[in-house]
Chains A and B, each alone.
Chain A
């Protein structure tokens, strides 16, 4: 149990996908202008990331490894991710049409979110088992959502701030992201007893 908590904390904070591994930067910059759409995007990505982490583990250990087809890893993972994203889009459209409209193009773009493929590949690299894959996928997703929401909150305030003209819009967003990344480096000194 403590192992699982350790893994979640490490995936969400210490090795945060966005701010430490620099994966999934497009939704991080693209959907972070409003807090509510950031929360929606975070939830959708959490669902997709956790599900694909488990599914790709199952594919890797039950199909690819026994057949000796490890060279097909990336393309099969992408296939699974695309299918899960398509499914999520249908589910969101049914459960919350408003959210579907707010997320718009970013929902299908989860397919090309490198954090999703990255976590599936990192799971494989670390030789995680079923439970570890699930926990690591969920922890990374929580970390992704956390940074997305925090950053969206920052940008909502930035929109009201008096920013020098040359830095208005995206540039100040990137600078803020850099400062946030520096702040998250503080977690690497975290020692769990």
Chain B
């Protein structure tokens, strides 16, 4: 009785270890095929797949940046900080004077005009719009990252992008002009 219990545990344990080792080796083997630089760039991008760069998502943008097809300054939400960081990773020099720091804007829904069609909900890459069918929708400003993807989807044109007002809470020290110099 005890013998069979020990045999069962040992067999299952050995089997699990052997299969795990095979999978571990396979994972290592596969990872070489992927481009580690692409993973790094993809991690640096915002990851919200807003599509403002012209690519379907951040992963595709990362691939294009690594292949040299897209400029490192191509991510509007990332702004200057991201462009400088990407340039450093990619080993290219960039002229940041032409990359304007994006103006901070947030979506705003005129709630009295909203017909509750849900179309802007599916367009939002950060799930910042809440609402139900035939119910008024609204924007959770803290989650909105200002990509503006929701604006063209609205059939009654009740979404507008509003600049973030400078309040005591929203104000911060101006960023250094040239981050690459400071680094």
Residues of chain A whose beta carbon lies under 8 Å from any beta carbon of chain B? 59, 63-64, 67-69, 71-72, 75-76, 79-80, 83, 86-87, 90-91, 93-94
A72–B12 touching, CB < 8 Å: yes
30 pairs, A vs B, C-beta closer than 8 Å: A64-B11, A67-B11, A68-B4, A68-B7, A69-B4, A69-B7, A69-B11, A71-B8, A72-B8, A72-B11, A75-B12, A76-B11, A76-B12, A76-B15, A79-B12, A79-B15, A79-B16, A80-B15, A83-B19, A83-B20, A83-B22, A86-B23, A87-B23, A90-B26, A90-B27, A90-B30, A91-B30, A93-B30, A94-B30, A94-B33
What is the distance, in angstroms, from B114's C-beta to the closest C-beta of chain A?
A: 29
Assembly CA distance A76 to B16 (angstroms): 9
Residues of B within 8 A of A71 (CB): 8
B4–A80 touching, CB < 8 Å: no
Given contacts A72-B11, A80-B15, 13 further A-B contacts (CB under 8 A): A63-B11, A63-B15, A64-B11, A67-B11, A68-B7, A71-B8, A76-B11, A79-B16, A83-B19, A83-B23, A90-B26, A90-B30, A93-B30
Residues of B within 8 A of A93 (CB): 30
Assembly CA distance A68 to B20 (angstroms): 24
Residues of A within 8 A of B7 (CB): 67-69
Assembly CA distance A75 to B15 (angstroms): 11
Assembly CA distance A14 to B50 (angstroms): 51
How big is chain B's contact interface, by range?
10 to 19
What is the distance, in angstroms, from B121's C-beta to the closest C-beta of chain A?
A: 21
What is the distance, in angstroms, from B17's C-beta to the closest C-beta of chain A?
A: 11
What is the distance, in angstroms, from B112's C-beta to the closest C-beta of chain A?
A: 35
What is the distance, in angstroms, from A57's C-beta to the closest C-beta of chain B?
A: 15
Assembly CA distance A46 to B141 (angstroms): 49
Residues of A within 8 A of B33 (CB): 94
B22–A87 touching, CB < 8 Å: yes
What is the distance, in angstroms, from B61's C-beta to the closest C-beta of chain A?
A: 16
User: Looking across the interface, which residue of chain A has its beta carbon closest to that of B33?
Assistant: A94
Q: Taking A69-B4, A69-B7, A94-B33 as contacts, is the C-beta distance between A79 and B19 under 8 angstroms?
A: yes
B 1-43 binary contact with A (CB < 8 Å = 1; else 0): 0001001100110011001101100110010011000000000
Residues of A within 8 A of B20 (CB): 83
Among B7, B20, B22, B30, which residue has the most Cβ atoms of chain A within 10 A?
B30
Assembly CA distance A80 to B22 (angstroms): 11
- Which 4 A-B pairs have CB atoms at the shortest separation, nearest pair first? A83-B19, A90-B30, A94-B30, A94-B33
Assembly CA distance A58 to B5 (angstroms): 22
Residues of B within 8 A of A76 (CB): 11-12, 15
Assembly CA distance A37 to B15 (angstroms): 33
A87–B11 touching, CB < 8 Å: no
Assembly CA distance A123 to B31 (angstroms): 35
Residues of A within 8 A of B16 (CB): 79
